[in-house]
Amino acid sequence: MDELISRITANVGIDDATARKAVGLILGFLQREGADGPAAKMVEGIPGGPEAVAEHGGEATGGGVMGLGQQLMSAGLGMGEISGVARETVAFAKQHVGEETVDQVVASIPGLSQFV
């Protein structure tokens, strides 16, 4: 997880604590909303993924991708930062669990592909 957080802080320009919370919220959302098998494989395959979900995973708020966006904005992120964190998280996940698994998760959540 530290590698992902370092990438986010360097490339998106947010602080460590905000990056950790954002990643936890995103992974928690993917785990809840994505196709069960691929989503679980993705979260478990990311170093520190399950722990990030347990610590910052948030709760189902309804509203799909927009609900996640509201949670991330409440954590202090702007739209550009949300997009940057999402892209870095997806790219990191593809490195660790493979493109096919991550693509299955993204495709299983309506509207998500336009953000990552």
Q: What is the pLDDT of residue 90?
A: 96
For the cut 80, the answer to whether the pLDDT of residue 100 exceeds it is yes
Residue-wise pLDDT for 20-66, tens only, equals 999 999 999 999 999 999 999 999 999 999 999 999 987 777 788 99
Name residue, tokens 């991550």.
102
- Read off the pTM: 0.94
* Structure-token pair, residue 110: 């309506």
